[in-house]
Chain A
């Protein structure tokens, strides 16, 4: 497999050369995915917790839909957001299409179900354990949400990393709503697609390795922080 040797060579050259274009693309990838994860967490964590705590008619259906949306194809999310943000669409006047902002919106749509669904699961388990004690303390459901989210924080860190993984790995959504514009909306995954279509397979794979290294780095950092905190707080 000479492609793989060449890919490692390409990856090494890209990293060692600190190619400014590559740095820009990497930085944008990170910004977009981190912003999407942050927005997804701010909405998804309380949403998932609320789903875990409240019983209402149709709750089962909501849970099933949320679980199913975890498998939403990125292209479909991209297409939906494109139609929303297009000039002819309902949110067209904001001029978000083909900007990093649009990419964030599309990725939020992708990872919100993951964060909300997995949060619901974790909070529900923890609440089964805490319920009587919290009820004894006289806590309303609403006031239980921050308590449960905080006490589930180590598990939720993994949930958020899963969201980040999906955001940083997907290409279908950002390609459609971002347009893969050089220097504006080109991120790692769309650059990989571009190089592949040019037949530049070693470079494409090299970019893939760089992306993988970056994601590994972030996961490693999160793991370390989590482990340290876990050991300290139990």
Chain B
């Protein structure tokens, strides 16, 4: 994992396309037909009130969910991906074993797993906790462990679904720092949040969803200063009902 390997990686990341992709569940349309193209090695923040369809968009993008109609596809070979959930799903094993497990799954040779896992624990400030059961860690520690796991998978694209929604401010900052580190390593970021300030801090571009509909997709600066849609204006001003 030399720095050289990550030079100009954005050229290698194919674009993700949504073409009329919708999600219908029990006769109810949760996500209206969505057409959207996400490319480049950017940090895209997906925003919107609760129930806007942010998580559905993430799951469609990561392939955890198939669209009821339309298509979601990568323009080229699907890149290596990882996902961090709002409530991290950790195995009933020690912190270290959670990481070696992910390495085993990704085909890392047995001898290399523990050193790599320990390196990742150190990077996320979890070294003293390596033998602790992952499930008894605090919320912030669990989320950092989930990030360490994603780090080890060395993804080209990282999905984060409300990763800081349940965290204290210090843990939130740690997650945001990790997002910056991932991006610096050449990982494309796709992250949902309902925190405007967080979006301002992190976003290269912003996708706004409202009631299952795409409202706007623009560069961060434009999104926050001269939004194209009145709904975006209302959202930024805090006038959209959550």
Q: Which of B108-160 contact A (CB under 8 A)?
A: 132-136, 153
Q: Is the CB of B93 within 8 A of A132?
A: no
Known: A136-B64, A138-B105, A233-B133. A147 touches B83 (CB 8 A): no
Known: A138-B105, A233-B133. A132 touches B89 (CB 8 A): yes
Known: A234-B133, A234-B134. A133 touches B89 (CB 8 A): yes
> Which of A132, A137, A138, A151 makes the CB contact (< 8 A) with B92?
A151
Range for the number of chain B residues in contact with chain A: 20 to 34
Range for the number of chain A residues in contact with chain B: 10 to 19
- Return the CB mask of A196-234 against B: 1 if under 8 Å, else 0: 000000000000000000000000000000000000111
CA distance A132 to B63 in the complex (A): 10
> Which of B83, B134, B135 makes the CB contact (< 8 A) with A136?
B83
Known: A138-B105, A234-B134, A234-B136. A132 touches B94 (CB 8 A): no
For A232, the closest partner residue in chain B by CB is B133
CA distance A136 to B146 in the complex (A): 12
Known: A136-B82, A136-B83, A234-B134. A129 touches B89 (CB 8 A): yes
- Return the CB mask of B42-81 against A: 1 if under 8 Å, else 0: 0000000000000000010011100000000000000001
- Return the CB mask of B208-219 against A: 1 if under 8 Å, else 0: 000000000000
Is A135's beta carbon under 8 Å from chain B?
yes
- Which residues does chain A contribute within 8 Å of B224, judged by CB atoms? none
Is A8's beta carbon under 8 Å from chain B?
no
- Which residues does chain A contribute within 8 Å of B102, judged by CB atoms? 137
CA distance A132 to B56 in the complex (A): 13
Q: Which of A129-184 contact B (CB under 8 A)?
A: 129-130, 132-133, 135-139, 143, 147, 151
Q: Is the CB of A147 within 8 A of B89?
A: no
**Which secondary structure dominates chain A's binding surface?**
helix
CA distance A151 to B183 in the complex (A): 33
B117, chain A: closest CB distance, angstroms:
15
- Which residues does chain B contribute within 8 Å of A151, judged by CB atoms? 91-93
B156, chain A: closest CB distance, angstroms:
13
- Which residues does chain A contribute within 8 Å of B92, judged by CB atoms? 151, 233-234
CA distance A129 to B91 in the complex (A): 10
- Which residues does chain A contribute within 8 Å of B133, judged by CB atoms? 232-234
> Which of B94, B105, B135 makes the CB contact (< 8 A) with A137?
B105
A43, chain B: closest CB distance, angstroms:
24
Q: Is the CB of B62 within 8 A of A136?
A: yes
- Return the CB mask of B3-22 against A: 1 if under 8 Å, else 0: 00000000000000000000
Q: Is the CB of B91 within 8 A of A136?
A: no
B112, chain A: closest CB distance, angstroms:
18
Q: Is the CB of B81 within 8 A of A233?
A: no
Is B85's beta carbon under 8 Å from chain A?
yes
Chain B contact residues, CB within 8 Å of chain A? 59, 62-64, 81-83, 85, 89, 91-94, 101-102, 105-106, 132-136, 153
Chain A contact residues, CB within 8 Å of chain B? 129-130, 132-133, 135-139, 143, 147, 151, 232-234
Q: Which 5 A-B pairs have the closest CB atoms?
A: A234-B133, A133-B89, A136-B83, A151-B92, A234-B135
Supply 5 A–B pairs (Cβ within 8 Å), ascending by A. A132-B83, A135-B63, A137-B106, A137-B153, A234-B135
Instruction: Name 12 extra pairs, CB < 8 A, besides A132-B64, A233-B133.
Output: A129-B89, A132-B85, A133-B85, A136-B64, A136-B81, A137-B102, A137-B106, A139-B105, A151-B91, A151-B92, A233-B92, A234-B135
